[in-house]
């Protein structure tokens, strides 16, 4: 029983520590947009299903005339089509 409690405490501590370290680290996928952020531009990240991309781009172009699309690649790390999103 003591070993189970010690294991649960260790797992909880490691989860807590990993969460704190994760909050401190920068998102490496946003590094290519870092110059836009430093220049004071607004960066809007939108997750969409692949079939919703065209409609959403039309909507954004009507509302925000000076907005520009920086990237529209699908996340290929997710093997299932129904879970894949466009960033």
Mean pLDDT of all residues in 65-78: 66
The DSSP annotation for 15-44 comes to HHHHHHHHHHS--GGGGGGHHHHHTT----
pLDDT digits (tens, 9 = 90+) for 7-53: 999 999 999 999 888 877 777 777 778 888 888 888 877 777 777 77
75 Cβ contact list (under 8 Å, min separation 6): 84, 85, 86, 87
Res. 70 pLDDT band, cuts 50 70 90: confident
Residue 55 has pLDDT above 80, yes or no: yes
């Amino acid at each position: 029983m003591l070993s189970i409690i010690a294991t649960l405490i260790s797992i909880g501590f490691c989860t807590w520590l990993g969460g704190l370290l994760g909050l401190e680290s920068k998102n490496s996928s946003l590094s290519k947009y870092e110059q836009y952020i430093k220049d004071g531009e607004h960066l809007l990240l939108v997750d969409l299903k692949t079939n919703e991309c065209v409609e959403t781009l039309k909507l954004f172009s009507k509302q925000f005339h000076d907005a520009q699309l920086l990237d529209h690649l699908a996340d290929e790390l997710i093997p299932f089509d129904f879970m894949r999103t466009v960033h």
